Amino acid sequence: EAGVTQFPSHSVIEKGQTVTLRCDPISGHDNLYWYRRVMGKEIKFLLHFVKESKQDESGMPNNRFLAERTGGTYSTLKVQPAELEDSGVYFCASSQVLGTGGYNEQFFGPGTRLTVL
């Protein structure tokens, strides 16, 4: 079974440009999460989709970030326009659905390393 995949693995862009990151979750996983790790700091939650709906976007830093998950399959995270402080590693994770209060193991992708110059 294929794991969570992310594309690209690395992206180097100039400040002010636009970048789109893609995540393909494990097939059948309704939950999809985006996280970010800025260099030297902890991994921080950005948002959570259940199928195509945004369940929790409390971690999105500002309106330069737009996440979509059309059709409830893959997801994209667009940064427009990119700023220097957006540099970091962006992780995607997916999990199955359980009942309320249950926990599902989150499977992580390898991450996309974004460098904004």
Residues of this chain, 19-78, that bind other proteins according to CB under 8 A = 31, 33, 35, 41-45, 48, 55-56, 58-59
Residues of this chain, 85-114, that bind other proteins according to CB under 8 A = 91, 93, 95, 100-101, 103-111
User: Backbone dihedral region of 72: left (phi > 0), alpha (psi from -120 to 50 degrees) or beta?
Assistant: left
Specify the residue, 43 or 66, whose C-beta has the smaller distance to other proteins: 43
**19-24 and 31-37 strand pairing:** unpaired
Q: Please report how close the Cβ of residue 81 comes to other proteins at its closest, in angstroms.
A: 27
Nearest by Cα to 34 from 85, 74, 83: 74
**65-68 and 75-79 strand pairing:** antiparallel
Q: Which residues bind other proteins (CB under 8 A)?
A: 3-4, 31, 33, 35, 41-45, 48, 55-56, 58-59, 91, 93, 95, 100-101, 103-111
